Amino acid sequence: MTKFIFVTGGVVSSVGKGVCVGSIGRILKSRGLSVSLLKLDPYLNVDPGTMSPYQHGEVFVTDDGSETDLDLGHYERFVNVQLGKLSNVTSGQIYSDVIARERRGEFLGGTIQVVPHVTDSIKERIMALAESSSADVIVVEVGGTVGDIEGLPFLEAIRQMRNEVGRDNVFYTHLTFLPYISSTDELKTKPTQHSVRELRGIGIQPDAIICRSDQTVPEGLRSKIVVHCDVPIEGVLMLPTVSSIYEVPLILEDQGMGNLLSDTLRLNLKDAGRESLNGWVEFVDQIKKPKETLEVAVVGKYVDLHDSYMSVKEALIHAGLHHDRDVEIRWVGSEDIEKDGAESYLSGVRGIVVPGGFGYRGVEGMIDAVQYARENQIPYLGLCLGMQVMVIEAARNLLGKKDANSTEFDEKTDNPVIDLMPDQVGVTDKGGTMRLGVYPCEILGEGASARAYGGSETVIMERHRHRFEFNNSFKVSLASVGLVATGVSPDGQLVEIVEYEDHPFMAGTQFHPEFLSGPTRPHPMFREFIRVVSNGVVKTPNGANSTTNGGNGKDSLGFERDTNSKALHGSQSGSTTDA
Ligand code: GLN
């Protein structure tokens, strides 16, 4: 029988519920259980694919081509599982499904209501994941905070689950926040008490309360929460803000989370503590130990909200740790580069990343960043749009085709070096209509990609989310100026990677390698990029290039990742958003 752990949030949002859920998954997986995870999002969008990154942060893409909440990225990174479309359910999906069934006459004669029709549909989705994953445990996060109007059907559904699947098979965890009052120098539990009261009003009595706080929590507060919220003392867990999210599984396990889950859910796991998290403990030690810092610029248009580039940020951290370095990100707005020039913002960085994006705003600044990296021999990694701007820059500045562009930004250009894929012509729906999910790519040549992926002819599987493509009619001319295709689809039709072989590292991928990077399994492209960055050349403010004392490329932990995600094939569908 599958066991279910439901995680709700109270008091305020943005206190790291996704990280907590991933950490609980990690703890159980390390104890030998199979784990799957599910995010219930109460908003009415069918998926976050059409939302602006400013609304939602990054859109995380799974192997099967689903555009999902960024928390799924945390789940995959923490638990090292491959999730799919069953792992992100929104109100939009539930309501459109219930209404479609009503129109088909499936409920003939009945009045369609939130309870039971919407709640039943929610429970069906939860059970569908349990069935298809056959996991021992499903960890389910309910998005938003208790008290949100749109979250009510989800809370009602998870309340009903305890009766339906049995008391021993369901565990409720509530994550709250303890605010700090500086004038009296104390942390307050009252908002937690109120939010638990609200939850109990709905009929859910939490088995555990995890209290996030920016300060260390005095022991006395634990018993106060026990009294007011009616949870056992071992069910009150403290989660002070820590410098790395990867510490969270250890913090929870040190307070007995694994044993508590095992006892309540009758999992019969052997009594253990953090020693069960072997590998993870060493990884966190590695994070905490002082080491050389590498400053890498991420140039994009959504840089004010770092969550927009969550997986890129994490992939850089993973690769840095692999080489015993701390990567510090310099967030650079591409529109600022347009105003003041690349030198003002990029001088002194050890590497440059241009991540994905949609729409023309800020693109010229990204092209300037590419030129700066190319001319100054600064390691550069382009991700999707970051690859496309590399191609535009080469056509403009090396082939002299001044109007070269992507037809996404200039439909009438005479030099459409990036163009709509043939099967995208005529597609007008924005939701779920891009090229999404994993597709194979064959590595060619002897350059950075071959070094990263283990040699020419290797076939890799990577995740995609794009509508436009490298235009093959410019392949030969671009190669003549040094920009070569070193990754193509197995039928040779689609260019997946381009790079300059005479540059220390300058590569762009049409796919999104960041989605496959994990804490102890850095992605090969990021790993190779950071290896070169750590040995690299820095353009200093006075204009001179100097060699850094850099690294020895030592792979400190010796972790390797599986480069071939076994995956369902992505569907030929997707969406775009500009903001
Ligand atoms: N806007 C580009 C396209 O649709 C790039 C997409 C991306 O960076 N994910 O092809």
C-alpha angle 66/391/59, rounded to 5°?
20
Structure-token match 């859109």, residue found: 59
Q: How far is C-alpha 367 from the chain's CA centre?
A: 25
For every residue of 48-117, DSSP letters joined together read: GGGS-HHHH-PPEE-TT--EE-THHHHHHHHH-----GGGEEEHHHHHHHHHHHHHTTTTTTPPP-IIII
Angle, helices 190-202/219-229, rounded to nearest 10 degrees: 30
Q: How far is the CA of 576 from the centre of ligand 1 (A)?
A: 8
Q: Which residue out of 367, 465, 471 has the highest number of ligand 1 atoms within 8 Å of its CB and is therefore the one to mutate?
A: 465
As a whole number, the mean pLDDT across the chain is: 90
pLDDT at 272: 80
For the stretch 427-437, pLDDT in tens is 666 666 789 99
| Beta carbon of 466 within 6 Å of any ligand 1 atom | yes
Q: How far is the CA of 575 from the centre of ligand 1 (A)?
A: 10
DSSP SS3 for 285:
helix
Is the Cα dihedral 453, 459, 464, 467 positive or negative? positive
pLDDT at 507: 98
DSSP SS3 for 137:
strand
Q: Are 402 and 367 in contact (CB under 8 A)?
A: no
pLDDT at 70: 94
Residue 359 alpha carbon, nearest atom of ligand 1: 1
Tokens of 48: 């976050």
For the stretch 115-147, pLDDT in tens is 999 999 999 999 999 999 999 999 999 999 999
Residue whose C-alpha is closest to residue 392's, from 324, 299, 483: 483
pLDDT band at 380 (very low <50, low <70, confident <90, very high): very high
Strand pairing class (380-383; 405-406) = unpaired
| Beta carbon of 468 within 6 Å of any ligand 1 atom | yes
Q: How far is C-alpha 72 from the chain's CA centre?
A: 6
Average pLDDT rounded to a whole number, residues 265-293: 90
pLDDT at 422: 72
> Any bridge partners for residue 171, and if so which?
5
pLDDT band at 213 (very low <50, low <70, confident <90, very high): very high
Lowest mean pLDDT among 47-61, 171-185, 188-202, 363-377: 47-61
| Beta carbon of 408 within 6 Å of any ligand 1 atom | yes
Q: How far is the CA of 459 from the centre of ligand 1 (A)?
A: 23
Strand pairing class (137-142; 35-41) = parallel
Q: What are phi and psi of 210, to 5 degrees?
A: -105, 125
Q: Which helix (H) or strand (E) holds 131?
A: helix 119-133
Contacts of 257 (CB under 8 A, 6+ apart): 24, 27, 208, 237
pLDDT at 428: 65
Residue 434 alpha carbon, nearest atom of ligand 1: 4
Size of the chain, expressed as the number of residues it contains: 579
Lowest mean pLDDT among 323-332, 482-491, 535-544: 535-544
Q: Where in the chain is the domain with CATH 3.40.50.880?
A: 290-547
**20 is known as an active-site residue:** no
Closest residue by CA, ligand 1 atom 7? 356
Q: What percent of the chain shows pLDDT beyond 70? A: 91
Lowest mean pLDDT among 10-14, 353-357, 478-482, 555-559: 555-559
Q: Where in the chain is the domain with CATH 3.40.50.300?
A: 3-284
Cα 371 to Cα 273: distance, rounded to the nearest angstrom: 51
Q: Is the peptide bond before 206 cis (omega within 30 degrees of 0)?
A: no
DSSP SS3 for 183:
coil
Q: Are 428 and 467 in contact (CB under 8 A)?
A: no
| Beta carbon of 357 within 6 Å of any ligand 1 atom | yes
Domain covering 290-547 in this structure, CATH number: 3.40.50.880
| Beta carbon of 5 within 6 Å of any ligand 1 atom | no
pLDDT band at 270 (very low <50, low <70, confident <90, very high): confident
| Beta carbon of 470 within 6 Å of any ligand 1 atom | no
Lowest mean pLDDT among 13-17, 88-92, 277-281, 559-563: 559-563
Residue whose C-alpha is closest to residue 280's, from 242, 253, 259, 317: 253
Q: How far is the CA of 355 from the centre of ligand 1 (A)?
A: 10
pLDDT at 423: 67
Average pLDDT rounded to a whole number, residues 177-200: 93
AA identity, residue 330:
R
Contacts of 55 (CB under 8 A, 6+ apart): 579
pLDDT beyond 80 at 99:
yes
Cα 497 to Cα 485: distance, rounded to the nearest angstrom: 6
Q: How far is the CA of 466 from the centre of ligand 1 (A)?
A: 4
Cα 419 to Cα 410: distance, rounded to the nearest angstrom: 10
Q: How far is the CA of 368 from the centre of ligand 1 (A)?
A: 18
- 211, 229, 384, 441: the catalytic one is 384
Closest residue by CA, ligand 1 atom 6? 466
Tokens of 146: 């208790």
pLDDT at 566: 34
Residue whose C-alpha is closest to residue 525's, from 409, 361, 386, 419: 386
Within 10 angstroms of residue 186's Cβ, the number of other Cβ atoms is: 14
DSSP SS3 for 202:
helix
**375 is known as an active-site residue:** no
Tokens of 194: 């109120």
Q: Which helix (H) or strand (E) holds 509?
A: strand 506-509
The reported pTM is 0.90
DSSP SS3 for 560:
coil
Q: What are phi and psi of 236, to 5 degrees?
A: -105, 115
| Beta carbon of 384 within 6 Å of any ligand 1 atom | yes
pLDDT beyond 60 at 514:
yes
Per residue in 379-396, is it b (16+ CB within 10 Å) or e — as a string?
bbbbbbbbbbbbbbbbbb
| Beta carbon of 325 within 6 Å of any ligand 1 atom | no
Average pLDDT rounded to a whole number, residues 375-379: 96
Q: How far is the CA of 358 from the centre of ligand 1 (A)?
A: 5
204 burial class (0-12, 13-18, 19+ CB within 10 angstroms)? Answer: buried
Residue 357 alpha carbon, nearest atom of ligand 1: 8
Among the CATH numbers 2.130.10.10, 1.10.1030.10, 3.30.2350.10, 3.40.50.300, which is that of 3-284? 3.40.50.300
pLDDT band at 425 (very low <50, low <70, confident <90, very high): low
Q: How far is the CA of 357 from the centre of ligand 1 (A)?
A: 6
| Beta carbon of 420 within 6 Å of any ligand 1 atom | no
**514 is known as an active-site residue:** yes
Cα 55 to Cα 34: distance, rounded to the nearest angstrom: 33
- 117, 464, 512, 523: the catalytic one is 512
Per residue in 536-571, is it b (16+ CB within 10 Å) or e — as a string?
bbbbeeeeeeeeeebbeeeeebebebebebebeebb
| Beta carbon of 358 within 6 Å of any ligand 1 atom | yes
Average pLDDT rounded to a whole number, residues 377-390: 98
- 247, 462, 496, 514: the catalytic one is 514
Within 10 angstroms of residue 484's Cβ, the number of other Cβ atoms is: 18
Q: How far is C-alpha 138 from the chain's CA centre?
A: 19
For the stretch 14-64, pLDDT in tens is 788 999 999 999 999 999 999 999 999 999 998 888 888 887 889 999 999
| Beta carbon of 309 within 6 Å of any ligand 1 atom | no
